[in-house]
Structure 1
Amino acid sequence: MTTVRALIATAAKKQWDIYQLDVNNAFLHGDLHEEVYMDVPPGLVTPHTDVVCRLNKSLYGLKQASRQWYEKLTAALHTRGYVHSLHDYSLFYRKRGTSTVFLGVYVDDILLTSTDIAKINELKRFLDNQFKIKDLGRLHYFLGLEILYKDDGILISQRKFVLDLLKEFKCDHMTPLSSPLDPNVKLKSHEGKAITDPTYYRKLVGKLNFLTNTRLDLAYGVQLLSQYMQDPREPHLHAAFHMLRYLKKDPTLGVFMSSSANFRVQAYCDSDWAACPDSRRSVSGYIVLLGDSPVSWKSKKQETISLSSAEAEYRSLRKVVGELTWLQRLFEELNVPQTGPFSVYCDSQAAIHIARNPVFHERTKHIEVDCHFVRTKLQEGLITLHHIDTHAQLADILTKALTGIKHSALLDKLVSLTSPPT
């Protein structure tokens, strides 16, 4: 989804039209390169009762179906001069002179954008001859994402999915809340009564997880609730319904891809030290913006226990630098102008000093590998590090539960962000 958001953000800034295609019966086009047999379908009369059918083409339900369809599509596109991205194999492109065509594929759904409308129509005709496609016109609805075009950019939301979710779990009549989680409630693994139907909880959290594709304000809460999937308790379910009531406040909230010609990449990273009451692991969070358009974000509990808040901040810093390393290569393929080093904003002076200090001391030995990676990218000129006040840290929304006032204030800053902080 990061690639999808990056592609839409780039198209919005460069004023490219985006189109959507749907492949009819995509999995049936794949050729099988191994022996696969199936029972005789009901209703088919055969002279013998002990025979089976050998498949020459893939069918829906086969483990090989998705792989074979991808190979078939790749081979067809290669004949037209398209190559797949080395950094995301669902992205294809062809660059010829001033003409560039990008193709984003998710199973049988295809995004198509280009600098040349004639090349788009040519590719549509080719794909229709090869696979029989359904031309859905300009992009409006893709993988549950609703696309709304405005004069100054593109709004991506999941309004219909939110309204259906509230109706399914009977929350459409409840009073809305101003924050995704109650900051005064600390959830623990084995606290509270076990719920009678764990599947109900898992289904709810799974659908909330799908919403994080456009709702970065839900990312922290969803990663927290996902930790209790194996043995959900009543407090966990209450927290999930708290999040549903928060969604009721503004179902149309999403991410806005600005059409301004600002291609400056900036990132914010933060951590909450020893946040988990069960394991004492910290939570990392980061957000990456292309100009003022959010393209990548994550909230995740760290893999190991950090011995200090500086270490927790540094692990968060390493995560966002790793993401920026990948995004730099992706942006190069998308022809995004490189406007100098990527600015990374962190509210920990200690983490910034460690990154800039070439000498390791006893206090930094345990994070030496992370130090080397971040410092190498700093010396290569990929990033520049900047200290930022805690109240201006946009990634704070990805690391902890906030009060309604502070949560709304951070969302307003994300919405109104048009220039880097001072």
Structure 2
Amino acid sequence: MTTVRALIATTVKKSWLISQLDVNNAFLHGDLNEEVYMQVPPGLVLEKPGLVCKLNKSLYGLKHASRQWYAKLTEALYSRGYTHSMYDYSLFYKRNGSDSVYIAVYVDDVLFLHEQFKIKDLGQLHYFLGLEVMYKEDVIIISQRKFALNLLKEYDCLEHKTCSSPLDPNVKLKAKEGAVLQDSTYYRKLVGKLNFLTNTRLDIAYGVQHLSQFMQKPREPHLKAAFHLLRYLKNDPTLGIFMSKDGDHTVRAYCDSDWAACLDSRRSISGYLALLGNSPIRWKSKKQETISLSSAEPEYRALRKVVGELVWLRMLFEELTVPFSLPISVYCDSQSALHIARNPVFHKRTKHIEVECHFVRDQLQAGLISLQHIRTDDQLADVLTKPFTGIKHSAALGKLSVFATPPT
């Protein structure tokens, strides 16, 4: 989904046209390279009993179908001069002088493919992979308003009181406190749907990450916290990402971490955010793999995660011909973590940190990134590492370009 957001952000900044098309019966176009047999369909009379059918083409429901359709589509695009992206195999592109066409595997160009596939032109992109795309003057807005409203309706939350923050900062959840739920599937299904909402709702990314820790054996306090998040969604289910048509093609990133906040494992939570101009295109909230011995360590590990993402984003944006300059500013509120990154000397308090984390130093010396200190109050990634009070959470939304979607 990061590539989709990057494409849309690039589209609005470059005033490109973005259209949606659909291939009719796409999976039926795939050629089978393996022998696959099926039972004779009802109603087909055979001369000899005991015969079966050998498939020459894919069918819906066949495990090979999606792979073979992808191979067929790739072959068709190659024959028309398209090139595979080296950094996301769901993306193809073709350039002719100053003109460019970009195609994702779920989108086909009607002008180039109509001879081989029957295509339905759906016009300007408005609804895509569960994302609603709205056009307002010089802004494209991505939201999941319909999905959020359906979710509230499914769990009977339309009449509930609203909450001003995704999680109650005064409630500390533990894995083994409270009565075990009789139906754990109910909780898992709810959290899974909330996780899908994080494709546009980075304001709930930390809350969903926190709830996801209890999927194995959910308990009543966990379900109560999940419904607290639903009540927060009811507060404004129309929130979405605003991608503005400004001239700012600067890529910048923010990273943050708490320290040993998980009461069960004492592991830390990392959060990072990457923006193109003021448009958020990539974010993550995740528990770290190891326990940190000081507050600087998780911050340094968070740096490692965001720098790895920036290496990939740089190459992707180069393919998208997005003009941005190096180094990319990475903002961190830990002076100690910045000192570890800038100082290649091993010290007794940091020599145990994994070698892979020093990837940050390599990219700093190579000129890909520049490390900047930022005040904690200005740290945009802070919302991805801990629960906020309602007032503080609301104040963070505008800085993240998350606003209510205007009526259509």
TM category, shorter: over 0.9
Q: Contact between 1:9 and 1:257, CA under 8 Å: does it hold in 2?
A: yes
Q: How does 1:3-82 map to 2 (within 5 A)?
A: 3-82=3-82
Identical amino acids, percent of aligned pairs: 72
Instruction: Name the stretch that deviates more: 33-42 or 407-416.
Output: 407-416
Q: By how many angstroms is 1:289 displaced?
A: 0.3
User: Which residue in the other structure is 1:90 paired with?
Assistant: 90
TM-score (norm 1): 0.93
Q: By how many angstroms is 1:104 displaced?
A: 1.5
After superposing on structure 2, the runs of 4+ consecutive aligned residues of structure 1 that deviate more than 4 Å are none
| Alignment partners' CA distance in 2, 1:43 and 1:223 | 51
User: Which residue in the other structure is 1:179 paired with?
Assistant: 165
Q: How does 1:167-246 map to 2 (within 5 A)?
A: 167-246=153-232
Work out whether 1:311 is the aligned partner of 2:297.
yes
Instruction: Name the stretch that deviates more: 344-353 or 355-364.
Output: 355-364
Q: Contact between 1:154 and 1:256, CA under 8 Å: does it hold in 2?
A: yes
Q: Contact between 1:159 and 1:252, CA under 8 Å: does it hold in 2?
A: yes
Q: Deviations over 1:125-151 (max 9, x none)?
A: 332221111100001110111111011
User: Which residue in the other structure is 1:392 paired with?
Assistant: 378
User: Which residue in the other structure is 2:406 paired with?
Assistant: none
2:261 to 263, 269, 275: 275
Q: Contact between 2:304 and 2:358, CA under 8 Å: does it hold in 1?
A: no
Give the counterpart letter for 1:45 in structure 2.
V
TM-score (norm 2): 0.96
Relative to structure 1, the CA distance from residue 365 to residue 411 in structure 2 (aligned partners, 3 Å threshold; closer, same or farther) is: same
Q: By how many angstroms is 1:371 displaced?
A: 4.3
Give the counterpart letter for 1:48 in structure 2.
K
Work out whether 1:381 is the aligned partner of 2:367.
yes
Alignment gaps of 5+ in structure 1: 113-122, 418-422
Relative to structure 1, the CA distance from residue 328 to residue 190 in structure 2 (aligned partners, 3 Å threshold; closer, same or farther) is: same
Give the counterpart letter for 2:60 in structure 1.
Y
Q: By how many angstroms is 1:48 displaced?
A: 3.0
Give the secondary-structure state (helix, strand or coil) at the position aligned to 2:325. coil
Q: By how many angstroms is 1:368 displaced?
A: 4.7
| Alignment partners' CA distance in 1, 2:332 and 2:386 | 16
Work out whether 1:321 is the aligned partner of 2:307.
yes
Give the counterpart letter for 2:143 in structure 1.
S
Q: Deviations over 1:272-315 (max 9, x none)?
A: 11111111111000000000000000001111111111110000
Q: By how many angstroms is 1:416 displaced?
A: 8.5
Q: By how many angstroms is 1:226 displaced?
A: 1.3
User: Which residue in the other structure is 1:102 paired with?
Assistant: 102
Q: Contact between 1:32 and 1:57, CA under 8 Å: does it hold in 2?
A: yes
Give the counterpart letter for 1:165 in structure 2.
L
User: Which residue in the other structure is 1:146 paired with?
Assistant: 132
| Alignment partners' CA distance in 1, 2:162 and 2:113 | 46
Give the counterpart letter for 1:94 in structure 2.
K
| Alignment partners' CA distance in 1, 2:72 and 2:323 | 33
Give the secondary-structure state (helix, strand or coil) at the position aligned to 1:364. coil
2:121 to 132, 135, 141: 135
Relative to structure 1, the CA distance from residue 98 to residue 211 in structure 2 (aligned partners, 3 Å threshold; closer, same or farther) is: same
Q: Contact between 1:314 and 1:370, CA under 8 Å: does it hold in 2?
A: no
Alignment gaps of 5+ in structure 2: 404-408
| Alignment partners' CA distance in 2, 1:412 and 1:292 | 10
Give the secondary-structure state (helix, strand or coil) at the position aligned to 1:273. coil
Q: By how many angstroms is 1:161 displaced?
A: 0.6
Q: By how many angstroms is 1:387 displaced?
A: 0.5
User: Which residue in the other structure is 2:342 paired with?
Assistant: 356
Give the secondary-structure state (helix, strand or coil) at the position aligned to 1:312. helix
| Alignment partners' CA distance in 2, 1:392 and 1:318 | 21
CA RMSD of aligned residues (A): 1.3
| Alignment partners' CA distance in 2, 1:32 and 1:382 | 44
| Alignment partners' CA distance in 2, 1:412 and 1:230 | 35
Q: Contact between 2:18 and 2:125, CA under 8 Å: does it hold in 1?
A: yes
Give the secondary-structure state (helix, strand or coil) at the position aligned to 1:57. coil
Give the secondary-structure state (helix, strand or coil) at the position aligned to 2:104. strand
| Alignment partners' CA distance in 2, 1:128 and 1:237 | 50
Q: Contact between 1:18 and 1:139, CA under 8 Å: does it hold in 2?
A: yes
Q: Deviations over 1:89-112 (max 9, x none)?
A: 00000112111111112xxx31x7
| Alignment partners' CA distance in 1, 2:313 and 2:38 | 44
Q: Contact between 1:315 and 1:370, CA under 8 Å: does it hold in 2?
A: no
Q: Deviations over 1:367-422 (max 9, x none)?
A: 151442000000111000001111111101101111111111111222399xxxxx
| Alignment partners' CA distance in 1, 2:280 and 2:233 | 20
Q: By how many angstroms is 1:342 displaced?
A: 0.6
Give the secondary-structure state (helix, strand or coil) at the position aligned to 1:257. strand
Give the counterpart letter for 1:78 in structure 2.
Y
